[in-house]
Amino acid sequence: MMIRATVIALATAVGAITMLPGCAVTRGQSSVGEYVDDAGITASVKSKFVENKAVDATSIHVETLQGEVMLSGFAKNADEKASAERLAREVKGVKRVKNEIAIRN
């Protein structure tokens, strides 16, 4: 009986340690819901980059805060930079896109 109680306590502790940090609100966001929405927007933008052959998804970084997407990294040319911005704007929930992508020479 003592072993069972120890196993249950250990499982509960491990669950709390792994789940609770995921609920933390960071970077000045006002709610956990917004944080989840921002993570979904970031994932959707990155997914569009992977699907689109005109954008090198590995060279462009995406961050989202309160619906505002910031793109950074490097593009091969102006067309790739513009395509990345256009794709980001098409994602549901995006309020604004800040394009800080540099063009490689």
The whole-number pLDDT of residue 57 equals 93
| Residue pair 37/47 in contact by the 8 Å Cβ criterion | no
The whole-number pLDDT of residue 6 equals 62
In a 3-state reduction of DSSP, which class is residue 59? coil
Give the CB-side neighbour count of residue 105, counting CA atoms within 13 A: 0
Going residue by residue through the chain (105 aa), what tens digit of pLDDT does each one get?
667 666 565 556 565 555 555 555 455 555 666 667 899 999 999 999 999 989 999 999 999 999 999 999 999 999 999 999 999 999 999 999 999 999 997
The whole-number pLDDT of residue 105 equals 79
- Ordered by start, the domain boundaries in the chain are 24-103
Cα gap 75→24, rounded to integer Å: 33
Going by C-alpha positions, the residue among 88, 101, 99, 79 that lies closest to residue 38 is 88
Second-level CATH architecture of 24-103: 2-Layer Sandwich (3.30)
